[in-house]
Structure formats: structure tokens, C-alpha cells
């Protein structure tokens, strides 16, 4: 059995934003769709709302009038759960409470046919636990859509411990028939996206808590240097601080309080104060009428150095050498030195973030990792109190001559983008090693689910397969809590690569 026959009715239980979105997807795929909600009249209201959205698709010439009318005719509110008896698929989108979901599926099991596929849209609960209340847990699968479901293509198809392979296959093929991009994953905390995305938020919050930079600067660096669609602070304000923190706590607890997933105290205080983001008018940023928009720290113009000395090829930042030459700055190459840094005219050094701190060395400025140094419009620099004013000024002037805004942050090991990407790469390797998903599905999930510029394994191949492990090793040395310790999977991957390269 593969995808659902289009003649098979689909039911959606729970008619909030997500439930309505899933119903709209199934409806426009040609199914008869039944909506059910325990609140009287809510299903009818949801049907009207979906109808209004379909009307707008006609106005935008994305749907014909005839198709709109046919879809409206297939959308039926249900008065009672027993109205779902003939459905081929029931998707649950109710509150994220295990007991409520289990009660619902227990009731459904006595109503629907034995061949009806049951699916939960949970984003943070165990699919295995949800199905554990059923007589036949093999027919329950996770279908985790992303909000807004009609627009975002990704669907995580989650197999619980007892899910039948045939059920997972049927769910996967159904999602694909609906025009979505499904990825298969095992039932582990956070599935793919919510597990591997945690460092994107956690590292930004950690830099803030260490007083390395303010939210607006960190967000600007993640966007304009890292290539991410949004920064961590503005994104969590959009999601809702309470929602984002809840997912973080769920993953952390589910991994038995693994330090790699430790929640942010700063975010906790934000939630406790009722500053939940856009929906409350204040979060990391102030959205109230008349509030001044927060601006990132940007350095004042400085004089560009006449030349730099390149010791090595700068590794992942090698493209900078061409950009420096194009800006009319002389690049002198030191062929005898095998380092990976630039030496400035005053004798100070400019080095790509590597997990160490500026204060450990004499007159060093670090610069952050960029997704694309040519296209990046901002670069972050970090320096210590011991860094000479001349060296910092020359470093700022150099990047300004390349057309970049420059943000100077505190002496934070791994800076912003570099430490974030390294941790994402590490969690991705760990997930593959533990059978959560394939490399291909993880890359697809992170690109489509949270709009990352590259998937973790694409990052890894671009940066060099030992890069993340080396940076995390240095971070772990400076913060031995275990938060930055490379996973065994990443260590093995990096070490095997080093051996192969050494042998060649």
C-alpha cells in the first residue's frame, strides 16, 4: 500500500492554525476532508476560514473557480468523532499534551476501520508514547508539518518504535503525493529539525549572555555574514519565546538534561516577564508603536592598510585573498610559513575564528566565518583588551575596503557564525550515527524546514571535514562543561579523514 487513494476521505482533528493548514493541503490534493474539533462550532468556523483562503488563491490566479468550488464541496465539518468512521487517514493537530493525544487516538481506534492510517502532527512529544496507548500502535505515524503548512514544503515522517514499515511508507508517499517534500526519521527528541536547530538559538543566546554582543548585532551577523534568513533573536520573537523555549526544554528533558541542549536563562527571564515576542508587543525587541528599531553595532570608517602578508591560504576564508587584491590592497605571500592568517602592517594578525580567544595571543584579531565572503555585507571581528588599537583599526579598515559593514564583538571563542555552524554539523553527524535519518534527508530538512543556506553536511564538505571537530575541540578546552565536546561520530569522521589524507 502506498499513497492514499484520492477517493479516501481525510480527517483533521483540531482546527487551529496548523490543523487548518493541513486540511487545506489535503483538500487541494483532491481529498474529501472532514474537520473535527471538540469545541462546538469551531469546525464550521475553520471550514469558513479555509474557504476564504482558497478564495484568495483564485484572486491570485493560482486556482481556477471550478477547482475552488469543487474543493469547497469536499470540505465537511464533522459534528462527532463517529463521522470519521470511513476515513482513510486521520491527522491529529490538537494540544501538545500526551494524555489528550492518547485519549483521542484510543477513541478513534474504536471508530475507524482497521486499515485507517493514524497520524500525529506533534512537534515535541514522542510518537512512540502517543501510539503506546493503542491496541495496534503499528498504524500510528508522525506527520510533522511546518507552519504555515500550505506554504512550507517539508514534512517529517516519523516512525515510532512500534510503527509498521508499511504505515511509514504509506504516510511518506501520501505526503509526496500532496506536493510536499517528505523526509524519514526515527522517533527521537526533536526529530530532525528541532533537534539539529537547537544550536542556532543556543549559541546566539550564549554570546549574548556572555556580553559578547547585543541581539541586533548577533542577528545582523547571522543574516549578513552567515547567510541565514533570520537571526536567532528575531526568529524566536516571531515564533514566540514561550513556544521556542518549550521546545528547547522538551528536547533537553528528553535527552536526560544533556548539556548540549541546555536552555537559556536569558530566554527564561524573557518568558517569565511576559515578553513573548511579536504577539505580546515585546520580546528581545520592542514592537510597540513608536518604538525605535534596534540597530546593530557598526564600526566607524577606518583607513585601509596598504598591504597584508598572507601566511597560508586562509582555509575556508581563502576567497578573501582575491577580494583583497580586487580592492587594490597588495597581498604579499609568505611561502615559507604554513599558517592560515593575515599579518597586518603594524605586525598584528588577522585569523579566522577557530575556537580560541584573542587574549591568549599577542595582538590577534579574529574574524567570523561567512557563508560567502564575496556576497557577505557584514563581517564580525573580535579582539581582547590586549589587542592594540592599531591592529583593530587596520582589521576594520581592511574589511571596510572590501565593502563590508564591520561589527566588533567581545573576545568570544568561536565568535557567532563559526561556533553555530560547527555545533549544527556536530549534531547532524551524531544524528546519522544514531540512525535518526540519512545525511541527504537531514540536509533537505534543514534547508526546507528552517531555511538554512546549506545543510549541515553541505557545510561540512565546503569547510573541510575536519574543520568542525577542530573548532569544537578548541571550544571544549575553554569550556569543559561538555557542551562543545565533539560527538564520537564527528571525531571518527574527522580522524578517518585525516588518516586518509595522510596516507595519500
How high is the pLDDT of residue 312? 85
Among 31, 144, 429, 493, the one annotated catalytic: 144
Q: How many CB atoms lie within 10 A of CB 339?
A: 14
Residue 6 has pLDDT above 60, yes or no: no
- Report d(CA 279, CA 238) in Å as an integer: 8
How high is the pLDDT of residue 495? 85
156 is catalytic: yes
- Report d(CA 37, CA 84) in Å as an integer: 12
C-alpha 278, offset from chain centre: 19
How high is the pLDDT of residue 153? 97
Stretch 66-78: mean pLDDT: 95
How high is the pLDDT of residue 313? 86
Whether the CA torsion 74, 78, 81, 82 is positive or negative: it is: negative
360 is catalytic: no
Nearest partner of 357 among 314, 395, 410, 411, judged by Cα: 411
Stretch 134-151: mean pLDDT: 96
244 is catalytic: no
β-pairing, 75-77 vs 307-311, is unpaired
147 is catalytic: no
C-alpha 474, offset from chain centre: 24
- Report d(CA 402, CA 305) in Å as an integer: 12
Among 123, 167, 382, 460, the one annotated catalytic: 123
Residue 4 has pLDDT above 90, yes or no: no
Stretch 372-396: mean pLDDT: 97
How high is the pLDDT of residue 1? 45
159-214 pLDDT, tens per residue?
Answer: 999 999 999 999 999 999 999 999 999 999 999 999 999 999 999 999 999 999 99
Query: Where are any strands of DSSP class E within 232-329?
Result: 307-311
219-269 pLDDT, tens per residue?
Answer: 999 999 999 999 999 999 999 999 999 999 999 999 999 999 999 999 999
pLDDT band at 496 (very low <50, low <70, confident <90, very high): confident
Q: How many CB atoms lie within 10 A of CB 376?
A: 25
Stretch 363-390: mean pLDDT: 97
- Report d(CA 404, CA 322) in Å as an integer: 15
Query: Where are any strands of DSSP class E within 147-263?
Result: 154-159, 181-186
308-347 pLDDT, tens per residue?
Answer: 999 988 999 999 999 999 999 999 988 665 568 999 999 9
Among 156, 224, 311, 394, the one annotated catalytic: 156
Among 159, 167, 194, 358, the one annotated catalytic: 194
How far, CA to CA in Å, does 122 sit from each of 53, 146, 157?
A: 24, 11, 11
- Share in percent of the chain as helix, strand, coil (round to 5): 45, 15, 40
Mean pLDDT over each residue of the chain, to the nearest integer: 95
Read off the pTM.
0.94
Nearest partner of 253 among 321, 305, 330, 198, judged by Cα: 198
- The values of phi and psi at residue 153, to 5°, are -80, -20
β-pairing, 378-382 vs 405-409, is parallel
Residue 498 has pLDDT above 70, yes or no: no
Amino acid at each position: 500500500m502506498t499513497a492514499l487513494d484520492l477517493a479516501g476521505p481525510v480527517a483533521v482533528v483540531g482546527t487551529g492554525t496548523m490543523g487548518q493548514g493541513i486540511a487545506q493541503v489535503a483538500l487541494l490534493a483532491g481529498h474529501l476532508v472532514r474537520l473535527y474539533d471538540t469545541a462546538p462550532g469551531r469546525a464550521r468556523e475553520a471550514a469558513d476560514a479555509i474557504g476564504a483562503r482558497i478564495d484568495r488563491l483564485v484572486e491570485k490566479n493560482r486556482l481556477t473557480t471550478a477547482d475552488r468550488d469543487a474543493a469547497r464541496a469536499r470540505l465537511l465539518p464533522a459534528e462527532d468523532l463517529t463521522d470519521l468512521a470511513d476515513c482513510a487517514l486521520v491527522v491529529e493537530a490538537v494540544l501538545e499534551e500526551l494524555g489528550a493525544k492518547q485519549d483521542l487516538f484510543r477513541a478513534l481506534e474504536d471508530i475507524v476501520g482497521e486499515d485507517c492510517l493514524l497520524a500525529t502532527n506533534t512537534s515535541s512529544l514522542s510518537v512512540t508514547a502517543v501510539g503506546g496507548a493503542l491496541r495496534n500502535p503499528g498504524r500510528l505515524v508522525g506527520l510533522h508539518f511546518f507552519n504555515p503548512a500550505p506554504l512550507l514544503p517539508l514534512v517529517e515522517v516519523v516512525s515510532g518504535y512500534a510503527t509498521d514499515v508499511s504505515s511509514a511508507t504509506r504516510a511518506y508517499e501520501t505526503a509526496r503525493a500532496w506536493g510536499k517534500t517528505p523526509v524519514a526519521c526515527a522517533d527521537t527528541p526533536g526529530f530532525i529539525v528541532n533537534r539539529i536547530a537547537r544550536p542556532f538559538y543556543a549559541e546566539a543566546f550564549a554570546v549574548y549572555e556572555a556580553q559578547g554582543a547585543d541581539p541586533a548585532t548577533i542577528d545582523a551577523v547571522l543574516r549578513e555574514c552567515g547567510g541565514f534568513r533570520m537571526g536567532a533573536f528575531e526568529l524566536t520573537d516571531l515564533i514566540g519565546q514561550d513556544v521556542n523555549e518549550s521546545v528547547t526544554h522538551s528536547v533537553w528533558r528528553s535527552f536526560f538534561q544533556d548539556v548540549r541542549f541546555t536552555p537559556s536563562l536569558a530566554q527564561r527571564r524573557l518568558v517569565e516577564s511576559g515578553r513573548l515576542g511579536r504577539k505580546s508587543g515585546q520580546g528581545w525587541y520592542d514592537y510597540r508603536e513608536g518604538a525605535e528599531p534596534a540597530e546593530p553595532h557598526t564600526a566607524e570608517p577606518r583607513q585601509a592598510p596598504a598591504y597584508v602578508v598572507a601566511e597560508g591560504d586562509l582555509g575556508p576564508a581563502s576567497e578573501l585573498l582575491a577580494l583583497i587584491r580586487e580592492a587594490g590592497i597588495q597581498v604579499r605571500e609568505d611561502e615559507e610559513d604554513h599558517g592560515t592568517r593575515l599579518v597586518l602592517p603594524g605586525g598584528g594578525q588577522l585569523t579566522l575564528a577557530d575556537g580560541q580567544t584573542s587574549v591568549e595571543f599577542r595582538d590577534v584579531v579574529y574574524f567570523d566565518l561567512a557563508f560567502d565572503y564575496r556576497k557577505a555585507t557584514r563581517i564580525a571581528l573580535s579582539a581582547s583588551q590586549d589587542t592594540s588599537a592599531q591592529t583593530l583599526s587596520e582589521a576594520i579598515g581592511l574589511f571596510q575596503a572590501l565593502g563590508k559593514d564591520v561589527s566588533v564583538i567581545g573576545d568570544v571563542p568561536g565568535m557567532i557564525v563559526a561556533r553555530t555552524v560547527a555545533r549544527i554539523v556536530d549534531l547532524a553527524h551524531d544524528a546519522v550515527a544514531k540512525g535518526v535519518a540519512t545525511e541527504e534527508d537531514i540536509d533537505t530538512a534543514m534547508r526546507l524546514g528552517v531555511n538554512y543556506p546549506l545543510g549541515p553536511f553541505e557545510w561540512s564538505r565546503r569547510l573541510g571535514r575536519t574543520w568542525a571537530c577542530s573548532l569544537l575541540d578548541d571550544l571544549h578546552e575553554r569550556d569543559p562543561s561538555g557542551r562543545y565536546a565533539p560527538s564520537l561520530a564527528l571525531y571518527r569522521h574527522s580522524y578517518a579523514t585525516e588518516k586518509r589524507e595522510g596516507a595519500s
